[in-house]
Amino acid sequence: MSLPPDPLMQAFLARARAAGTLDTDPDSLERARAAAESLRRWQAAPEAVDAVETLAIPTADGATLTARLYRPANSGAGPLPLAVFAHGGGWTRGTLDLYDAPARALANAGRCLLLVPAYRLAPEHRFPTPLLDIVAAAEWASAHADALGADPARLALAGDSAGGNLAAAACLWLRDHSGPAIRRQLLIYPATDCRFDTESYARYADGYLLTRDAMRACWRMYLPDDDSAASPYASPLRGKLRGLPAAAIIVAGLDPLRDDGLNYAAALAAAGVPAETILLPDLPHASLHLDGAVPAARAVIDHAGQALRQALTLSDQEPS
C-alpha cells in the first residue's frame, strides 16, 4: 500500500481504515448516504461569506431544484463571476448541508458567486436526469445573471468526483445544444469513464476512502442500462472534445479516479482544448472534505480557487 509522506494523512487514513472506509458496504444505499454525511466531521469550520441565498430552479421536465447561492466575503459592488458547482457523492448521495463548508471556502478562494444545486439523485433518478439538472442550473444562472449580480460572460462549471463528471458532461451537452458559453470547467478528481481497468483503479482499489467496488456500485445505480455507459454524456472521456471550454483538472494521487482525471486532461489537450492538470500526489479522494482533519487537504480549495480566479478575472477577458 502506498503511504503519503504527511504523517497526519497517514494517521487519518489508518483511522479511517480501522473504522471502515466510507464505502464499507457499497450496495447499501442507506448506509452509503449516512456515511457521506459523516464527512462533515472532518471539514474545517465554515468560513464567513457575505450572503447565502436559497433559490428555486425550474427544470425542463417540470421539477424544481433547491439551490444555494454563495456570495464571497468582501465581494463589493459590481457583477461577479459565477461558478455552478455540482457536488460529489457517486450520483447517489450528497446534500447542500454536506457541501456548505466547502462551498463557502470555494466561493471565497475563487472570489466568485458559487451556485450549488441539489440535483436529483440516483437510483431514484438515473442518467440523464442528474446531468440535465446541472444543465438546467447553468442555463438558469446564465439567463438570470443580472438578478444574481453575476457577469454572464464569466460563467464556469465545476464539480468534484461524480459532480466533476456532471460538470464535464454538462459542458459537452451545452456545446452540442447551443447552450450558454462556459468560460472554464473546473473538475476536482472527476469520474470520466465507466471503466475500471486503469492502473489507479488497481493500485488504489481499497484503503483510500473511495473503493473500486463502491465506484462499480455507484455506476450501476446511476446508469439505467449497460448501453448508457458508452454515451459521452455519461462517460465524457469517450466524447468528441474539440471546442469544449478550457479546463482545470485537480487530481488526487491516492485515488482510484486518478487516471480518470489524467486521461481526460490528456484527451482534452489532444483535442486542442487548453487543459491544466493539477496533481496533488499525496491526497486521497474526498480531500475537499478533509481540511479540518489534515491541513494539507486545504490544497484542493487553494488550487481550485486559484484556477477560478485566473479564469474568471476581468483582465483575462477579450476586449469588447
Give dist(CA 256, CA 252) in Å, integer. Answer: 9
For residue 246, give the C-alpha cell: 478550457
In whole angstroms, give the CA distance from residue 6 to residue 292: 15
Residue among 161, 200, 231, 287 flagged as catalytic: 161
Cα–Cα nearest to 112, from 305, 246, 248: 305
Burial class (CB in 10 A: 0-12, 13-18, 19+), 81: buried
Helix (H) and strand (E) counts in the chain: 10, 8
Buried b (16+ CB within 10 A) or exposed e, 252-277: bbbbbbbbbbbbbbebbeeeebebbb
Cis peptide before 117 (omega within 30 of 0): no
Pairing of strands 64-71, 113-117: antiparallel
Helix, coil or strand: residue 300: helix
The residues that bridge with 193 in the sheet, in sequence order, are none
Backbone φ, ψ for residue 84 (5° rounding): -90, 120
Radius of gyration of the chain (CA): 18
Q: Is 161 a catalytic residue?
A: yes
Q: Listing from the earlier edge strand, what are the strands of the sheet with 247-254?
A: 51-58, 64-71, 113-117, 80-86, 150-160, 184-188, 247-254, 275-284
Which residue has 480501522 as its cell numbers?
18
Catalytic residues: 161
